[in-house]
Amino acid sequence: MAMPSGAGGRTARLAPSFLSDAVVGLGVLAVAYAAIRLGYEAASSPASVSTDPADLPYLAGRSLLRMFAALALSLVFALVWAYAAARSRRVGRVLIPLLDVLQSLPVLGFLVVAVSGFTTVLPRSEWGLEAAAVFAIFSSQAWNMAFAFYQSLITLPRELDEMARDMGFTRWMRFWKVELPSAAIGLVWNGMLSFAGGWFFLVAAEAATAAGGVHALPGVGSFAGAAVAAGDLGGVGWAVAATAATVVVVNFLFWRPLVAWAERFKVEQAEGATVQRSVVLDLLRRSRWPRLAGRALGLARDMLERAGSHRPGAGRPGECLRRGDGWQQNGHSGDTLINAAVCTSAGAALAVLAVYLARHPAGPALLLEPLLLGAVTLVRVLVLVAVATLVWVPIGVAIGLSPRLTRIAQPIVQVLASFPADLLFPLATWLFLATGAGLDVGGAFLMALGAQWYILFNAIAGATAVPADLREAMDSLGVYGWRRWRRLVIPAVFPAYVTGGITASGGAWNASIVAEVVTFGGTVVTATGLGAYVSQAADAGDHPRLVAGVLVMAFYVMALNRLVWRRLYRLADRRYSLD
Amino acid sequence: MSGEPNVLLAAHALTKRYGDGPPVLAGLDLDVREGEIVALLGRSGSGKSTLLRCLAGLLPPSTGAVTYRGVALTGANPGAAMVFQTFALLPWLTVLQNVEVGLEARGVARAARRHAALNALDLIGLAGFQSAYPKELSGGMRQRVGFARALVVEPDLLLMDEPFSALDVLTAENLRGELLELWESGEFPTQAMVLVTHNLEEAVLLADRAVVLGTGPGGAVGTVYDIPLPRPRDRDAPEFAAQIERLYAVMTGRPEAAPLPPLGLRPAPRQASDAGGAEASGGQHPLGAGGVSRPGGGPAVAGGVDHAGHISREQPRLRQQPGDVGVGGAVEDPRAVAAREHEPGRP
Ligand SMILES: Nc1ncnc2c1ncn2[C@@H]1O[C@H](COP(=O)(O)OP(=O)(O)OP(=O)(O)O)[C@@H](O)[C@H]1O
Ligand SMILES: [Mg+2]
């Protein structure tokens, strides 16, 4: 290796080539063109549903645009919300519990309300539909990402925090050079998993508009929805194939390169962790475009600086957002305002709901039925999580402990997790109908189709993080078999497992809304449960029951989180944390 | 007290406790004057890092105050720059960008800060490495970046928390020697230094005064000892040994005429004579090819050691020591880094 005196450190080692320049250049142009074209279509053309498989590439493009719009929104929301919550403890005390509540609200229950809300607010009904779909995806991603960023803000490595304060970093420098980079890996992984989860909601939202009749959003989900309504199994198959292809392509062109690129933000090289690689990223690095773009950005920044934004002592010093030490954070002037606004709107929403429910003839009894039905769904969720744990944790650990298997399996699992399980529901329904199996048991299976991957994914991640020296110590002490599981594997994987378990159980609750009532070509199969209750109330436009069902479901999710997962989390943190 | 013109930094009746924990510092008084180096000594957990962070304005004192040029601190000390034991470099920035951050925070224009940062890298022996990333450097080189980053803002005060203890002994010896040379040469931008160390010899070599933190009732109290040795200091001089002896006695609570300390704090004579032989032959250090880490990490390195365990070598001649070659790099990165570490940084 030569002296790295030239530009670009590590990245310079890939020799630039004309071919990669050309490929990357054309690729960027193609993506930009497609995005603009699709965006234009979305803004101008009337919503309609297609049943021609030849339209599927276009439809997949429209769906993808929604996914990325929601991802961008979620990212902005996550950064702003988390920063506000971390900057002031007083504000955090309101924003963080609120995040918890939002996280447990079953989005799919709101879909119908959201659609009608957005269509009345926005000038064109297609825009309303688009907005509702994007909102559904957004609300499946944003809370997670906000929480991840918040965590990383308040647990910034101590010495980086001290360095930033000692060097007098301005607020912007602190954010841009320290906080955002150290959160980058977490944000990228979280974004990737949230994006994977988002497909489920995309399909549900699009299918809901298709089922709604008049208008439908062009997309893979509405294509599938129309096929289901027509009882066209072949059409569903086409939709499944198109979605699978889209998921694979997006992973290859977007997430893998992003994950591999984020490696540069590792604070320390954890031994044993697999190095993420991406062909696309290598290609990008081999081309000269990024460097040109970087130089152009640098020039722009220079010009901005020269324009006089920099004067001595510019900018206010960044504060310590890290919890634990630092000078007492005095209250900020905006704190009370933010808190008042948030509390007022939350309180108002609650009051409206309370009045609304109280005016219903059934009164509080309205809540009784969903509470009972919730218990049935709860059993489904618990069984699902237990079975998924027993099946996937050993497999995940086996994968995670072998770097070679991890390299192979991780992208596959990622694709499986991304694949929207609700696209498969019609096929499963058809199977249930053909075999005569009931949905009461099958519903749990459908819910598991989407939720199980979180457990597998986190088991793999947890096992990868087991330090090599601990494993070697066990080898040298001759600890194998069950004893090894009890002493090393289970404690080491436990924290990651709990994270996966929370997500899986939350996802299962949400999925119950579409999994406990399935239709196929006019046949409707229903299971007993809260999901079916909410879904039916939504279809019937029975808003009091819908509100009651959604509230009760949120209550169940929060209760389960608090009584079970939160405790396991604390146990994991106290006893089994690896640092 | 801060009215005195030459007091840069003063701690007054400083106490500190973390949350509801036991008190760590119990009413400390300390003046740091222009032109002096102060060493903070004490056992592990005695509160040295806590005191240093209070002086840097990174931790608020529980009671009492720290004043810089007579003004009580209410946030990061504007006149101090810190060097961290674990370097605290931003891994996603290049060496040059890492060195520039302090200037950037002070609103220095791009061209000017680039110029200053390159000069600092030059001064600290890192010329030519500006576009490397911290990951690509050996520990010794990383700490050089840490020094360059602190020095480039020309702080009045340089605060160092065990700056050499994450380095192998030879690398540490080099860097320490260079720092001292800069300090004595007068081209140093800094007026005073405060240094936390576990290494008594390092303290006696560098410091004009040593503050020994010892446990009193309700936390640590500091006792100040002058180290009135002329500079440049001669490690062979009996007074040098006597100072170490005295600090050792203070820290262990033994009478000054105590017998030799146990292994670990000082090198064993046998290893020492090996090292002495290498030095005498003037050639490759026998330890140079492999690891140098020695249990205890005592101060003895490539030098003869007399029976009392004192290093008899001259202060390391910067970068010209043939025996040094490759050691810093060889331990941490077997590839080409070894060559870099000793590539003469400046003519
Ligand atoms: N952030 C913290 N929160 C709570 N207690 C702390 C914190 N930092 C240090 N302490 C406690 O304060 C005491 C002094 O710690 P400090 O790090 O200042 O000691 P030290 O002299 O630097 O030790 P060492 O030589 O091991 O670096 C210790 O008992 C430690 O447990
Ligand atoms: Mg310390």
Kindly compute the dihedral angle of the four CA atoms of residues A480, A485, A489, A491, in this order, to the nearest 10 degrees.
-130
The CB of B50 under 6 Å from ligand 1? The reply is: yes
Instruction: Give dist(CA A454, CA A385) in Å, integer.
Output: 10
SS3 assignment, position B24:
strand
Q: What would the DSSP string read from start to end of A45-92?
A: SPP-----GGGHHHHHHHHHHHHHHHHHHHHHHHHHHHHHHHH-HHHH
Higher pLDDT, A344 or A76: A76
Q: What is the CATH number of the domain that holds A496?
A: 1.10.3720.10
Taking residue B120's Cβ as centre, other Cβ atoms within 10 Å add up to 26
Average confidence score pLDDT of chain B: 75
Instruction: Give dist(CA B145, CA A393) in Å, integer.
Output: 44
Burial of B229 (0-12, 13-18, 19+ CB in 10 A): middle
Determine contact, residues B241/B205, Cβ cutoff 8 Å: no
In three state form, how does the secondary structure of A366-414 look?
Answer: HHHHHHHHHHHHHHHHHHHHHHHHHHHHHHHHHHHHCHHHHHHHHHHHH
A241 shares a domain with A351: no
Taking residue B41's Cβ as centre, other Cβ atoms within 10 Å add up to 26
DSSP bridge pairs for B193: B37, B158
Tracing tokens 């509390």 back to the chain, one arrives at: A343
Residue A371 is predicted with a pLDDT of 92
Interval between CA B191 and ligand 2 midpoint (Å): 23
Q: What is the ipTM of this complex?
A: 0.78
Q: Name which of B73, B84, B137 to mutate to probe chain A: the one with the most chain A Cβ atoms within 10 A of its Cβ.
A: B84
Average confidence score pLDDT of chain A: 82
Q: Which residues of B touch A11 (CB under 8 A)?
A: none
Instruction: Give dist(CA B318, CA B315) in Å, integer.
Output: 9
The CB of B18 under 6 Å from ligand 1? The reply is: yes
Backbone angles phi, psi at B99, to 5 degrees: -70, -30
Determine contact, residues A534/A549, Cβ cutoff 8 Å: yes
Higher pLDDT, A287 or B142: B142
pLDDT in tens, B196-239: 999 999 999 999 999 999 877 777 788 888 999 888 888 888 99
The CB of B197 under 6 Å from ligand 1? The reply is: no
- The model's confidence at residue A326, banded by pLDDT at 50, 70 and 90, is low
Q: Which two tokens stand for residue B101?
A: 């951050």
Instruction: Give dist(CA B112, CA A393) in Å, integer.
Output: 56
Higher pLDDT, A207 or A308: A207
Residue B50 is predicted with a pLDDT of 93
Of B75, B104, B153, the CB nearest to A327: B75
Residue A100 is predicted with a pLDDT of 82
Chain A closest-CA separation from residue B89 CA (Å): 8
Q: Which residues of B touch A162 (CB under 8 A)?
A: 53, 56, 58, 82, 84, 88
Domain that holds residue B303: 264-340
The CB of B21 under 6 Å from ligand 1? The reply is: yes
A343 shares a domain with A202: no
Residue A14 is predicted with a pLDDT of 59
pLDDT in tens, A223-272: 888 888 888 888 889 999 999 999 999 988 999 889 888 888 887 654 44
Q: Does any domain span residue A113?
A: yes
The residue from A250, A277, A304 where one domain ends is A277
What percent of chain A has pLDDT above 90? 18
The CB-side HSE value for A93 (13 A sphere, CA atoms) comes to: 8
Average of pLDDT values for A116-128? 79
Q: What is the DSSP letter of B193?
A: E
Q: Dihedral sign for Cα A388, A390, A391, A393, please.
A: positive
Instruction: Give dist(CA A56, CA A18) in Å, integer.
Output: 34
Average of pLDDT values for A379-399? 93
Q: Does any domain span residue B192?
A: no
Is the per-residue pLDDT at A444 higher than 80? yes
Of A168, A170, A302, the CB nearest to B110: A302
> Would you call A177 and B335 a contact, using CB atoms and an 8 Å cutoff?
no
Average of pLDDT values for A119-144? 85
pLDDT in tens, A551-565: 899 999 989 988 998
The CB of B74 under 6 Å from ligand 1? The reply is: no
Instruction: From B119, B206, B115, B114, select the one nearest B160 (Cα to Cα).
Output: B206
The CB of A325 under 6 Å from ligand 1? The reply is: yes
Q: Which residues of B touch A4 (CB under 8 A)?
A: 129, 131-132, 136
> In which region does residue B13 sit, left (phi positive, over 0), alpha (psi from -120 to 50) or beta (all else)?
left
Backbone angles phi, psi at A542, to 5 degrees: -85, 85
pLDDT in tens, A167-219: 988 888 899 999 999 999 889 988 988 898 899 889 888 887 765 555 678 88
Least confident of A81-85, A201-205, A445-449, B271-275: B271-275
Q: Does any domain span residue A304?
A: no
Is the per-residue pLDDT at B303 higher than 60? no
Instruction: Give dist(CA A116, CA A112) in Å, integer.
Output: 6
- The model's confidence at residue B320, banded by pLDDT at 50, 70 and 90, is very low
Q: Which two tokens stand for residue A27?
A: 């690729």
Average of pLDDT values for A531-539? 88
Distance of CA B73 to the CA centre of its chain: 24
> Would you call B107 and A313 a contact, using CB atoms and an 8 Å cutoff?
yes
Instruction: From B111, B120, B129, B115, select the one nearest B154 (Cα to Cα).
Output: B120
A368 shares a domain with A244: no
What percent of chain B has pLDDT above 90? 42
**Ordered alpha helix ranges (H), A264-332:** 279-286, 289-304
The CB of B47 under 6 Å from ligand 1? The reply is: yes
Average of pLDDT values for A532-548? 86
Average of pLDDT values for A64-75? 95
Residue A551 is predicted with a pLDDT of 87
Cis peptide before B316 (omega within 30 of 0): no
Residue A20 is predicted with a pLDDT of 78
Q: Which two tokens stand for residue A316?
A: 């206010």
SS3 assignment, position B64:
strand
Instruction: Give dist(CA A58, CA A47) in Å, integer.
Output: 13
Q: Which residues of A touch B102 (CB under 8 A)?
A: 167-168
Q: Does any domain span residue B109?
A: no
Instruction: Give dist(CA A492, CA A470) in Å, integer.
Output: 10
The residue from A229, A261, A277 where one domain ends is A277
Q: Dihedral sign for Cα A39, A40, A42, A48, please.
A: negative
Kindly compute the dihedral angle of the four CA atoms of residues B24, B28, B33, B36, in this order, to the nearest 10 degrees.
-50
Q: Which of the ligands is closest to the CA of residue B48?
A: 1
Q: Name which of A11, A13, A156, A167 to mutate to probe chain B: the one with the most chain B Cβ atoms within 10 A of its Cβ.
A: A167
Q: Does any domain span residue B316?
A: yes
Q: Does any domain span residue B257?
A: no
**For residue B84, what is the nearest residue in chain A, using CA coordinates?**
A159
Q: Does any domain span residue B31?
A: no
> Would you call B102 and A313 a contact, using CB atoms and an 8 Å cutoff?
no
Kindly compute the dihedral angle of the four CA atoms of residues B210, B211, B212, B213, in this order, to the nearest 10 degrees.
-160
Q: Does any domain span residue A310?
A: no
In three state form, how does the secondary structure of A421-465 look?
Answer: HHHCHHHHHHHHHHHCCCHHHHHHHHHHHHHHHHHHHHHHHHHHC
A213 shares a domain with A77: yes
Give the contacts of B259 (CB within 8 A, at least 6 positions apart): none
Least confident of A76-80, A321-325, A420-424, B2-6: B2-6
Instruction: Give dist(CA B214, CA B250) in Å, integer.
Output: 9
- Most confident range (mean pLDDT) of A274-278, A380-384, A569-573, B291-295 is A380-384
Least confident of A69-78, A150-159, A423-432, B78-87: A423-432
Is the per-residue pLDDT at A27 higher than 80? yes
Q: Which residues of B touch A315 (CB under 8 A)?
A: 105, 107
Q: Does any domain span residue B285?
A: yes
Report the domain count for chain B: 1
Nearest CA to ligand 1 atom 7: B18
Taking residue B200's Cβ as centre, other Cβ atoms within 10 Å add up to 24
Interval between CA B46 and ligand 2 midpoint (Å): 8
Q: Does any domain span residue B179?
A: no
In three state form, how does the secondary structure of B199-239 look?
Answer: CHHHHHHHCCEEEEEEEECCEEEEEEEECCCCCCCCCCCHH
Q: Does any domain span residue A441?
A: yes
Higher pLDDT, A146 or A465: A146
Domain that holds residue A409: 339-579
Determine contact, residues B96/B121, Cβ cutoff 8 Å: yes
**For residue A262, what is the nearest residue in chain B, using CA coordinates?**
B92
pLDDT in tens, B95-123: 999 999 999 888 888 889 999 999 999 88
The residue from A236, A251, A277 where one domain ends is A277
**For residue A298, what is the nearest residue in chain B, using CA coordinates?**
B110
Single-letter amino acid, residue B310: H
Residue B14 is predicted with a pLDDT of 92
Report the domain count for chain A: 2
> Would you call A310 and B132 a contact, using CB atoms and an 8 Å cutoff?
no
Least confident of A3-17, A457-471, B98-112, B118-132: A3-17
Q: Which residues of A touch B91 (CB under 8 A)?
A: 264-268
